[in-house]
Structure 1
């Protein structure tokens, strides 16, 4: 199958600029050739799609997600699995999010959907599975339904082996508290003893599994980096030594600004106001988020300016809205639209280990692409003006008629 995309304004997420009037030839699901400056090749039997100057860019990634927070009493497991698949598909088709990295899902529902999408049984995004969110007794995330409480060095080792046995891509470890939790679950508190930490990281290292570390305070962040974490999630409080360790050990940072920034008092546009209204957080949780927001932003900017590797993850739902809100918060907090776009495309693929295949528009890469009507380098919210979504070089969502 060959498709030629013509008259594209190309944002390849390699060069920080929009390149006008490009053509891109797709063949067998990959980018075969890129023609700059109005050059239109002889195409033979290729289907031609005229993009009419719209912006062609890599699809988006959200590298910190969860299914909806529902207990089995609220919704049977089969229905929860179905709902999660629907949410993932909506993220792809309605918002152009081509890749997701899961940060905790009970009963390995993320593994099930990963396999279903990869087999072609169902159309959906690329999904990287974590299985359960592993925490301690009395740890973080318990009300989500996706946490598994484990204790003691061997308890952690056994739980990690269970995740591996069930087909996960990475291991999600909880080292500390959070903002969204009961009064005893505080993000300034660390949860694991030294022997538990060592055992957890040792078994991951032996089995060559990357650790996605929920670490929210300097003590937890430093421990995770020094023990070999692949990524630090949240990092609500970062000191200068944390930044130095990120750079020294070449560790990823996923700041999840949405957790501390999306409250009634902080919402700044219609999308944020609608989300906050629908989310309807309790007053106490809003207060906790508001109190953490400035420090969180300061650490984010410190990491950004220092050149820490950063990828975009939202940690909120619904999945079709989450990454778009997080993109807006990155720019609101001081990132340039280019930095935000790279975090949500090139770096999203890279943190998942597939940066050599996805995340940019370059010859030889898989053609997971989106087309939007405005320039997100001028206004990051132009990514919301979605026109086309392509997966493996095939159009899977066409919204051009809706825009007319």
Structure 2
């Protein structure tokens, strides 16, 4: 039986391309796909003519594609007591812990995630379970384990793989692809969570970075890099890097190079302004000082990227569902982006932009005929204020209602 989402205004990131909001609209869903979108009267007539239909009155809600979070860790374990508890989980407990995070993420309206380092390849099992319908969760695009040099950023945990030299990094790329990776993540500098490094510490030589990028591209995989300093980022972008995570210390010149070469930025603005989250996890003082101290320069870097026209994509780093500052981490990051981008571009950064980067735009990212019915609804207009996403009250993934009235 098909479904009809009625009495709603349909928005999606095509508004940036001149697609106006569709008011008094209907969205007809058959199976897991959208069969039609348009004026309610005509869509309803077509749906009823085709056979029995369940009509869901959304009472004037605004409908958008489900959100996409491009920097997700379901097995995150930062330094401190909270992270230690995750590190101590056995493989069975870890799988259940991650499955709970996936369920909570979907319930927030995040229907697609890009996992950029998960422990012990448990992400592949979770992805299979979600695809098989055994557990609820978002669509997962995952990097498997991130590649690091010996002793490099994040080496302390099972969500990374230590490699050295061009041959070692080529093997690392191939090992993750063999396991089922959709993309490759590599740590090319230090960061805020490494006690014996600095944010600006370079960690790969040029031949190692080239080996990662060349090998991944040969296998049809994009590469994203944890990176802070401009010099390291600029060198990687010149080699063909597809995306930068964080970018704490950009310069205008490197930002312009990113824009020219089509390298996206996932700025993860939350990670340098989240003392409440750090306190909750018992993160040690040295990391809190480094992270929060980097905040002003981080914002300057973000502004440089925006000014240069770099493609900005939403990613929270903090678990997508985490309750933070009156909402969840994904929406709080979206609000941070909107403060510089404006609501319409922030919507793009949270929906169509990520899906385009993932190469999944044939199926996801907009509300239109033929695409998966991954939809969310809220009462406020997110083109007026991105904080409307704080009040998502309806979530559908692949035609199945996850949250909201049946």
- TM-score, length-normalised on structure 2? 0.89
Distance 1:384 1:288, change over 3 A: same
Is the CA contact 1:171–1:212 (under 8 Å) kept in the aligned structure 2?
yes
Partners of 1:203 and 1:29 lie apart in 2 by: 35
Matches within 5 A, 1:3-402: 3-15=3-15, 18-36=21-39, 41-42=44-45, 43-44=47-48, 45-66=52-73, 67-69=75-77, 74-93=88-107, 95-182=108-195, 184-263=196-275, 273=276, 275=277, 277-317=279-319, 319-320=321-322, 321-332=328-339, 334-398=340-404
Separation (CA, whole Å) in 1 of partners of 2:132 and 2:189: 36
RMSD value over aligned CA atoms? 2.1
Q: Give CA-to-partner distance per residue, 1:254-293, whole Å, 9 cap, x none.
A: 1111111223xxxxxxxxx5x4552443332222123211
Q: CA deviation at 1:15?
A: 1.4
d(CA) in 1 for partners of 2:256, 2:306: 12
**CA deviation string 1:10-37 (max 9, x = no partner):** 2122115644321111123222222237
CA 1:80/1:394 → structure 2, altered by over 3 Å: closer, same or farther? same
Using the alignment, how far apart are the partners of 2:87 and 2:290 within structure 1? 28
Deviates more, 1:166-175 or 1:188-197: 188-197
Give 3-state SS (helix, strand or coil) of 2:395's partner. Answer: strand
Q: Alpha-carbon deviation of 1:7?
A: 0.7
Deviation of 1:152 after TM superposition, in Å, equals 1.8
Q: Which runs of 5+ in 1 are unaligned?
A: 264-272
CA distance in 1, matches of 2:97, 2:169: 30
50-59 vs 62-71, which deviates more?
62-71
CA distance, structure 2, for counterparts of residue 178 and residue 317 of structure 1: 18
1:389 CA displacement: 0.8
Show CA shifts across 1:22-68 (max 9, x none): 11111232222222376563132121111110111110111111123
8 A contact 1:7–1:38 mirrored in 2:
no
Kindly provide the CA deviation profile for residues 305-347 of structure 1, in whole angstroms up to 9, marking residues without a partner as x.
3321121011112635321221122234x22122211111111
**Cα offset for 1:129?**
1.3
Alpha-carbon distance change, 335 to 279 in structure 1, aligned in 2, over 3 angstroms? farther
3-state DSSP of counterpart to 2:393: strand
**Is 1:224–1:232's contact at 8 Å kept on the other side of the alignment?**
no
User: What displacement does 1:91 show?
Assistant: 0.5
C-alpha displacement at 1:160, in angstroms? Answer: 1.6
The whole-number CA distance in structure 2 between the counterparts of 1:385 and 1:234 is 27
- Structure 1 position 246, deviation (Å): 1.4
How far 1:210 moved relative to its partner?
1.3
Q: 1:113 offset after TM fit, Å? A: 1.2
Partner SS, residue 215 of structure 1: strand
Aligned residues: 387
Aligned to 1:267: none
Question: Which residue of the partner structure matches residue 266 of structure 1?
Answer: none
What residue ranges of structure 2 are gaps of 5+ in the alignment? 78-82, 323-327
Deviations 1:350-381 (A, max 9, x none): 12111221111122211100111222222322
Query: Could you tell me how far apart the structure 2 residues matched to 1:306 and 1:196 are?
Result: 28
Alignment check: 8 A CA contact 1:347 1:355 kept: no
